[in-house]
Amino acid sequence: MSALQHPWSTWRHVVKLDPDKEIGNDELIELGRSGTDAVLVGGTQGITYEKSFLLIKRLHQFAPDLCVWQEISDQHAVVQEVDGFAIPVVLNAGSAEWIIGRHIDALERFGSMVPWQRVVPEGYVILNPEAAAARLTGALCSLSPAKVIAYVMAAERILGMSTIYLEYSGIYGDPKLIRQVRQISGAHLVYGGGIDSVEKAVEMAEIVDTIVVGNAIYDKGIDLVRETVLAVRSLDL
Amino acid sequence: MSALQHPWSTWRHVVKLDPDKEIGNDELIELGRSGTDAVLVGGTQGITYEKSFLLIKRLHQFAPDLCVWQEISDQHAVVQEVDGFAIPVVLNAGSAEWIIGRHIDALERFGSMVPWQRVVPEGYVILNPEAAAARLTGALCSLSPAKVIAYVMAAERILGMSTIYLEYSGIYGDPKLIRQVRQISGAHLVYGGGIDSVEKAVEMAEIVDTIVVGNAIYDKGIDLVRETVLAVRSLDL
């Protein structure tokens, strides 16, 4: 991927929508007008094909111009009608299963059908031990800064990954640590977790390539999306 | 690495030397004259810094023109005086530890000192359940051809690895399966295991990029190296 442009290279602001959470049609229409670069459909708990398909179908219906990607956590929930697929590799998972085991099981069955040019593998480091994804994958989350750096280095230099996702899921991360990662990393860096204000969006967008606004929109509404998009855009002027 | 030439791109024939096994000075001199492209110093059992250092020192002394790389299985055995380092990622290991865990522990301590331009990460698939490396890493070795293909696909397309090492360690592999892997893989493909004759060396060298002649030299002597080098060279004429 190093020689080609990263498929997410122009993404500065992304919204993550959870198929297991409710969102109204009016909000989807507003989301389509918000100016966010893409919607990533995915979650950890209660993810089924039906729920994923329904949300993606409604996105196409109510926000037809939005770029929609699915983040795959279960091979049975894969929905074809998206612009691309994000595939998490949980670098600090407690077992082989969540690093690469499930992927291999899926590839054994569907390997020849994967549209690789529309796939972005994400090297996840989950940093909030209370997050559902951390519990599910048995992630080792109590990591020193040096350890986080080592995970990122291993992902890029040993495995060869070109996208790193620092996931605080539900809590706001430490900008100092994210900055340290940025200094040693040449990957496309994604930050997610606890972005519930313009200030936090700006702070993280100044460091990483892409910020993800997620759960907070279910509390604060699509206003948060519109405001953080505007703030990130003015950063880049 | 895709944009750059692979550091092993010209390697067709490699000898693996085990620091835990005995080899005489005369044999090292003969090895230096054999025409093999490189020596990979590494093993699974009884590997210490002292044994590794001594073998590498003797290689420099008795076969000074040989290209010598160390394959690292233990961070405490790393010897600086080599041309490069191969870092195994055991794709089918039973636990996270042997996929990427030990690497992260090592990078946490020595990450800033790694000469990355002289490092080749190897995506290992261990295919002989009786091999010491398989037992050590708890590798899942009873793999269908579809599963082996899935491992290779995951290593290249999801993790981003550019070197795949199919390791039968001690037994001779199935050329049909290796050919299937070659068909779906764009990686630098390495084959090792059971090459104890010119015929086997040629059969595998016709399929993969690099063959590794290993344990058999401890039984058959350096003649095996010279003869298999000649055979592989005439393949490429």
Contacts (Cβ under 8 Å, ≥6 apart) of A53:
A79, A81
What's the pLDDT at A78? Answer: 96
**Given CB atoms, is A120 within the 8 Å cutoff of chain B?**
no
Average pLDDT over residues A185-190: 97
What's the pLDDT at A2? Answer: 47
- For every residue of B93-104, DSSP letters joined together read -SSHIIIIIHHH
**Given CB atoms, is B136 within the 8 Å cutoff of chain A?**
no
pTM: 0.95
pLDDT band, very low/low/confident/very high, at A3 (cuts 50, 70, 90) = low
Contact between chains at B160 and A121 (C-beta distance less than 8 A): yes
Q: Is the pLDDT of residue B113 over 80?
A: yes
Calculate the average pLDDT of chain A.
95
Taking only the tens place, the pLDDT of each residue in B200-227 is: 999 999 999 999 999 899 999 999 999 9
Taking only the tens place, the pLDDT of each residue in B61-85 is: 999 999 999 999 999 999 999 999 9
In chain A, which residue's Cα lies nearest the Cα of B110?
A150
Average pLDDT over residues B173-186: 97
What would the two tokens of residue A178 be? 């994210």
In chain A, which residue's Cα lies nearest the Cα of B118?
A157
**Given CB atoms, is B147 within the 8 Å cutoff of chain A?**
yes
Rounded Cα–Cα distance for residues A127 and B197 (Å): 52
Between β-strands A163-167 and B210-213, what pairing exists: parallel, antiparallel or unpaired? unpaired
Contact between chains at B149 and A108 (C-beta distance less than 8 A): yes
Q: Which of B91, B150, B161 sits opposite A108 (nearest CB)?
A: B150
**Least confident span in A96-100, A198-202, B56-60:** A96-100
- The CA-based dihedral angle spanning residues B189, B193, B198, B201, taken in that order and rounded to the nearest 10 degrees: -10
What's the pLDDT at B3? Answer: 52
Domains and CATH numbers, chain A: 13-235 (3.20.20.390)
Q: Is the pLDDT of residue A1 over 70?
A: no
pLDDT band, very low/low/confident/very high, at B101 (cuts 50, 70, 90) = very high
> By the 8 A CB rule, do A204 and A178 touch?
yes
Q: For residue B157, give how far its alpha carbon lies from the nearest alpha carbon of chain A (Å).
A: 8
In chain B, which residue's Cα lies nearest the Cα of A96?
B96
Partners of residue B144 in chain A, C-beta under 8 Å: 108
Average pLDDT over residues A54-78: 97
Among B97, B105, B108, B110, the strongest candidate for a mutation testing the A interface, having the largest count of A CBs within 10 A, is B108
What's the pLDDT at B96? Answer: 93
Q: Is the pLDDT of residue B117 over 90?
A: yes
**Given CB atoms, is A65 within the 8 Å cutoff of chain B?**
no
Contacts (Cβ under 8 Å, ≥6 apart) of B40:
B14, B15, B16, B17, B69, B70, B71, B86, B212
What's the pLDDT at A12? Answer: 98
Taking only the tens place, the pLDDT of each residue in B182-203 is: 999 999 999 999 999 999 999 9
Q: For residue A158, give how far its alpha carbon lies from the nearest alpha carbon of chain B (Å).
A: 5
Partners of residue B161 in chain A, C-beta under 8 Å: 159-160
Contacts (Cβ under 8 Å, ≥6 apart) of B62:
B25, B28, B29, B32
Contact between chains at A160 and B158 (C-beta distance less than 8 A): no
What's the pLDDT at A61? Answer: 98
ipTM of this model? 0.94
Taking only the tens place, the pLDDT of each residue in B125-137 is: 999 999 999 999 9
What would the two tokens of residue A170 be? 């539900």
**Given CB atoms, is A126 within the 8 Å cutoff of chain B?**
no
What's the pLDDT at B2? Answer: 47
Q: For residue B175, give how far its alpha carbon lies from the nearest alpha carbon of chain A (Å).
A: 20
Average pLDDT over residues B150-176: 97
**Given CB atoms, is B118 within the 8 Å cutoff of chain A?**
no
Taking only the tens place, the pLDDT of each residue in A126-156 is: 999 999 999 999 999 989 999 999 999 999 9
Q: Is the pLDDT of residue B114 over 50?
A: yes
